[in-house]
Amino acid sequence: MLCLALLLLAARPDSAAPAPTLDLMPVPASIRLDAGRMPLGATFRVSTPRFRDGRLLRGIDRAAHRLREHTGIAIAPAVSRDTAGATLVVEVRGPGQAVQTPAEDESYTLDVSQSRVVLRAPTVVGALRGLETFLQLVASDANGFYLPLAHIADHPRFPWRGLLIDASRHFEPVDVIERNLDAMAMVKMNVLHWHLSDDQGFRVASARFPRLQRDGSDGRYYTATQIREVVAYARDRGIRVVPEFDMPGHSTSWFVGYPYLASHPGPYAIEREFGADDAAFDPTRETVYRFIDSFVAEMVRLFPDPYWHIGGDEVNAQQWESNARIRRFMRRHRMRDAAALQAYFNRRVEVILRRHRRRMVGWDEILNPGLPRTVMVQSWRGAASLGAGARLGYTGILSAGYYLDAMQTAADHYAVDPLPDSLARTLTPVEAARVLGGEACMWGELVTHETIDSRIWPRTAAIAERLWSPATVTNVGDMYRRLAVVSEELEDAGVRHLTGPARLLRRVAGTSDVGPLGQLAGLLEPVTLGQRMHLDRATQLTALDALADVVVPDPAPARALSDLAAQLVADRAADGGAVVLRDSLGRAFASWRRLPGALARMGDGSPLLAGADSAADLLAALGATGTQALAYLADGHTPPADWTMASLQLLDRARAPVGLFRIAALPAVRAIVLALPHAP
């Protein structure tokens, strides 16, 4: 698929090569390029003349390992304090915070001269960020590897730049979590929001309450040792780990082993369906709060971060409303509705967390003026909700627009800002400062350990840039250019968003020769989570191994075709270039028309291709329409009215899901058809 994208991009009729540009992502706050270069020679030596500790030295060692793998340059194993002859000098003033918080100083400067690179940072975390920029600066040409001469002064725009990984709906092994932590560090993200309990599973071992994992996890959970390993692994990379244990709703897995915590006597079983279940904690029982207090006391030993996420979203009040004792409690305490009862529960839990020196975080639904202003709100509803919290004095982060299971493009996510001008204009500077950043969300309903990487990356790198770089960095075309480079770097570092789908395609095809299936996969993308639940409702027991589970959102081959079509429409007056573009698009459209027959020859050998034939048929029809549209565009004729009407109807039909697929390549045909003159 990648090869096709590169071939199509190579067909652009550029008259001259573009000026050299950097491939940094995220874009630094400030960068000045100077003439010249610093060659990377046969040997490479690192010096730390000031502060050093184990975390810094391990970070340097990881960077050196990646540099050696990329360039083949011999790197001295020891890190010296002597700067004489050093290639890279890392000057750090101190270790930074003992337990990292949003207030950690992540700034750094990077100076590349003709003889050496000097990285300066006030903290180890800042140095780790600078090392990632240093690695991204490495370039090559016929004369070898080098760094451009530059001065970079960098710091993040927002202090909270997170990724939520849901390990409850589908369990994700430790190696999956750790390789995604590596990827997060590469693009300067600093919070892993670990969703560890929901209706479908409780994923942490508790020594005090062992039935949580025994009865609520299907045997798939993290041991205390594994939790400590992940937290240490993240800290080594300047990443905080914020646990989420959902309550009072999304909590069935708690009640399988401890039904007395719930508002209904049960019995309970792990919920296999997805959605908001009726089960909810009983906010009226003191035994519930004693249980939570004891559980938190145990878990804070594993999770040192000062923030603790309680979830708090989508609470179904059915159990509360049907329980006569709870209704009497509400009347006695003059609670008008379920929202008031949830606010009471949240206040009680907040006191528990504060006693254990933790700050509560929750989704929009927890926002209530009765909560202390130390509480942080995570908004899935949007900037307006985030702004409302900021005006009330609450800090907040944005996730609306960053839901990866919405299967949007990197460009869609890139356009979402935690503090857009429309919101910033309505907030005072103090209120605006309460918007701490945002988090990409990888909910786990439709991902497994084999597919999760391709759902997170590379799109999350675009979100990472939105959260780190200045608000003025908005060029979508340049973002995609750099994203292609960073995508390869992420794969080289161990993420499997490229090789994973390629391997799964071979499984779906039942052969190593995926042939037309590979082409088809590059033109399709999965339906959104909401569409999937409507079209073919998956459960926790659904095997996510068909082609619809393998294709990736925002596929590069489809985007490359759409770019060519957009360029043809914009530059169609330039005859020479238009011919090259038309030929490239014409060959692609012709290949679409051959897909049904080619796929039919493969289909007999693979039951996992179910539904792919309908998508191939629709692409064949679009290919025929695109071919005719190119001919009309070339000769300047107005197409017949009946052809135009039929084509528009086809385009409209192709906007809807076909089976469990969406036609990612649709914009290529649509742009050309809409550019044609229409009969009066």
Neighbours of 301 (CB within 10 A): 11
Q: Would you call 584 helix, strand, or coil by DSSP?
A: helix
Give the single-character DSSP code of 317.
Answer: T
Sign of CA dihedral 554, 660, 590, 582: negative
Measured CA distances, 116 to 44, 67, 86 (Å): 10, 15, 7
Residue 445 and residue 274 in contact, taking contact as beta carbons nearer than 8 Å: yes
φ, ψ of residue 145 in degrees (nearest 5): -85, 150
Which residue do the tokens 């003026």 mark? Answer: 369
Name which of 488, 450, 453, 500 is nearest 69 in CA terms.
488
Rounded distance, CA 202 to CA 181, Å?
22
- Judge residue 114's burial from the number of C-beta atoms within 10 Å of its C-beta, 0-12 exposed, 13-18 middle, 19 or more buried: exposed
First to last CA, the chain: 41
Residue 460 and residue 440 in contact, taking contact as beta carbons nearer than 8 Å: yes
Which residue do the tokens 């627009």 mark? Answer: 401
Residue 402 and residue 463 in contact, taking contact as beta carbons nearer than 8 Å: yes
Rounded distance, CA 348 to CA 288, Å?
10
Rounded distance, CA 639 to CA 1, Å?
33
Packing angle of the helix pair 612-635, 666-675 (nearest 10 deg): 30
- Judge residue 420's burial from the number of C-beta atoms within 10 Å of its C-beta, 0-12 exposed, 13-18 middle, 19 or more buried: middle
Indicate left, alpha or beta for 537 from its phi (over 0: left) and psi (-120 to 50: alpha): beta
Active site annotation includes 314 = yes
Residue 497 and residue 453 in contact, taking contact as beta carbons nearer than 8 Å: yes
Give the single-character DSSP code of 262.
Answer: B
72-94 burial, b for 16+ CB within 10 Å, e for fewer? ebebeeebeeebeebbbbbbbee
Measured CA distances, 365 to 308, 314, 349, 361, 390 (Å): 16, 8, 15, 11, 15
* Cis amide prior to 267 (ω within 30 degrees): yes
Rounded distance, CA 192 to CA 194, Å?
6
596-612 burial, b for 16+ CB within 10 Å, e for fewer? bebbeebbeebebbebb
Q: Which of 314, 365, 489, 525 is catalytic?
A: 314
User: Which stretches does DSSP call E strand in 340-496?
Assistant: 359-363, 376-379, 395-398, 435-442
Q: Which positions are annotated as active-site residues?
A: 314
